[in-house]
Chain A
């Protein structure tokens, strides 16, 4: 008996060790990548870098237009994707009957989320830039990013809505609430933290994407900030792509400095989502 026991113990120790190794191996690259980029890029981060236009053919100056462009693109995406995505999620979770039609919609949403982003880019080029004559613009880019983001928002928001206990809905209806009153006063407030988390994660992905804006919004270099939705714009991910591949003799610290700013933008949104989620979890009463 003792022999078997100690053998089992050994197997268990081995198992733990393997699992620990697996988790360390997944975390290590993330930490290394972030640390490496920060170390290489930190020297570039100065006030001027964040507030000035590029100069000397991108080899000097700052990245202000790219920061502003990514900000506007993200905001534009939010303005379109959030109402659409959350609205669709409310419909699917609270109103839609469970039939072949709604099941088809769900399958479509899941598949949309798996389409490569460059395909969205091409679609945006065809529909918004050319067919609708929006040109290469903030508007066309935001709309393209929205189409990419909406499925993510729908699925996370629907999940958050479905997590609200059904008994709340029954009680609200039994107290003389209409279905809409029930959604607005009980279900939505309870699901809001989960919805916000999904929204932020979806927008975060949009903010960091290059391919969808490549043909629809991004410009190599612009001497001024965009002033209308029909202006083309610079953007952080595209700018990073350009200065890493298209400009010979580019100072390395500017490349990494741009990466640091993009990373800060995206990780900042991620942190916000985590904060919202953990605060809501602490306050939740069910």
Chain B
């Protein structure tokens, strides 16, 4: 066990009963020099919404994609530190990434429905995991769609192509698809950036329900959304974690000058 060095900008201690994810001194760099992370320390509580916010290029998406090792698909040239989920370092090269991604699901900014029916989109992940039992698949479809507040709209058209859905419905389908796998952690990368306010409201409502059962990490598409949804808010700037604080305090009473400037709209 190597000693974890504490960077100077160590965020104020945040206490939640249980930390689901602990990020220790995480540094990530891409080959093209774009968005990267430097020495990030952050604890993300279970059954709560952790919001990662800040201007573009701050490293929010990088952190998100590190949490389920989706970054493996990108050209990462430097990776150090640890990411503990339930106390186990998922950055360990021996990690079963396929199993990890079933436990840690992700929803992207642009909804990408797979070119198949609505039902097949929901059963896809489970079938990959080897689930063949019809009843189990049916249950998962219904549960996922209900949790994503989409069931009422699509219950009688499950066998239509998923592309026949509207943009807002497609995004909720992407959420439902992740939920059908019954993950432990849900990562959301600006899930409402392409949605109208009504659809956005529906997604945010679902998140409040979902956090009873899941650990949620959200990159919001606006600072207002960050303020509305955060149980813990972390401010990222230029690849560094500037400040993290529970609830709304970071928006009303930021400690760091840079956070204050951003929250009050002086830049970004």
DSSP class of B's interface residues: helix, strand, loop or mixed? helix
What string of 1s and 0s marks CB contacts (under 8 Å) between B232-253 and chain A? Answer: 0000000000000000000000
What string of 1s and 0s marks CB contacts (under 8 Å) between B85-106 and chain A? Answer: 0000000000000110110011
B112 pairs with A176, CB closer than 8 A: no
Number of interface residues of A (CB under 8 A): 19
Interface residue ranges of B129-185 to A (CB < 8 Å):
129, 161, 163, 174, 177-178, 181
Chain B nearest CB: distance from A16 CB in Å?
A: 38
> Could you tell me the distance between the alpha carbons of A172 and B70 in the complex, rounded to whole angstroms?
11
**Any chain B CB within 8 A of the CB of A131?**
no
> Could you tell me the distance between the alpha carbons of A171 and B189 in the complex, rounded to whole angstroms?
13
B181 pairs with A172, CB closer than 8 A: no
What string of 1s and 0s marks CB contacts (under 8 Å) between B64-75 and chain A? Answer: 000010100100
Chain B nearest CB: distance from A98 CB in Å?
A: 10
Number of interface residues of B (CB under 8 A): 24
Chain A nearest CB: distance from B77 CB in Å?
A: 15
B115 pairs with A176, CB closer than 8 A: no
Which B residues are CB-close (under 8 A) to A176?
98-99, 101-102, 125, 128-129, 181
Which B residues are CB-close (under 8 A) to A186?
114-115
Which residue of A is nearest B120, CB measured? A185
DSSP class of A's interface residues: helix, strand, loop or mixed? helix
**Any chain A CB within 8 A of the CB of B124?**
yes
B99 pairs with A167, CB closer than 8 A: no
Asked if A167 meets B110 with Cβ closer than 8 Å, knowing A174-B105, A175-B101, A176-B99, the reply is yes
Asked if A178 meets B98 with Cβ closer than 8 Å, knowing A172-B114, A173-B70, the reply is yes
Which A residues are CB-close (under 8 A) to B163?
285-286
What string of 1s and 0s marks CB contacts (under 8 Å) between A160-178 and chain B? Answer: 0000010110111111111
- Greatest chain B CB density within 10 A among A171, A178, A185 is at A171
Which residue of B is nearest A176, CB measured? B102
- Closest CB pairs A-B (n = 5): A175-B125, A176-B102, A167-B112, A285-B163, A285-B115
Q: Which residues of A contact B (CB under 8 A)?
A: 165, 167-168, 170-178, 181, 185-186, 190, 284-286
Cβ contacts A to B, 24 pairs, < 8 Å: A165-B112, A167-B110, A170-B108, A171-B174, A172-B114, A172-B124, A173-B70, A174-B70, A174-B101, A175-B101, A175-B102, A175-B105, A175-B124, A175-B177, A175-B181, A176-B99, A176-B101, A176-B128, A178-B98, A178-B128, A185-B124, A285-B161, A286-B115, A286-B163
